[in-house]
Amino acid sequence: MPNFKIFQDDPAQARIRIYGGNDVAFNTDSAGNLTITSTGLAITPPSNGLTITSTGLAITAPANGLTVTAPAEGLAITPPSNGLTITSTGLAITPPSNGLTITSTGLAITAPANGLTVTAPESGLITARAVTDVSATRANITNTAGTPDETYEVLKYSTWTFGVVNDSLAANAQANVKLQISPDGTTWKDEAGPVTINQNAMETLVATIFLKYARVYYNAVNAASAVTLRIYFQGHT
pLDDT of residue 221: 97
> 165 and 228 share a domain?
yes
Mean pLDDT of 103-114: 57
The answer to whether residue 225 sits within a structural domain is yes
The listed range with the strongest mean pLDDT (36-45, 83-92, 153-162) is 153-162
Question: Would the pLDDT of 201 be above 70?
Answer: yes
Span between the terminal Cα atoms of the chain, in Å? 108
Mean pLDDT of 48-65: 56
Domain assignment of residue 91, given as a range: 49-128
> 99 and 144 share a domain?
no
The answer to whether residue 185 sits within a structural domain is yes
Which CATH number do you get for residue 227?
2.60.120.1110
Give the containing element (helix H, strand E) for 7.
helix 5-8
Residues 68 and 76: their CA atoms lie apart, in Å, by 12
**Boundary of a domain, candidates 128, 163, 187:** 128
Handedness of CA 186, 187, 191, 193 (dihedral sign): positive
In total, how many domains does the chain have?
2
- Listed residue (134, 137, 133) closest to 229, CA to CA: 137
pLDDT of residue 1: 47
pLDDT of residue 217: 98
Q: pLDDT grade, residue 128 (50/70/90)?
A: confident
**Boundary of a domain, candidates 112, 128, 144:** 128
Average pLDDT, the chain: 77
pLDDT of residue 33: 75
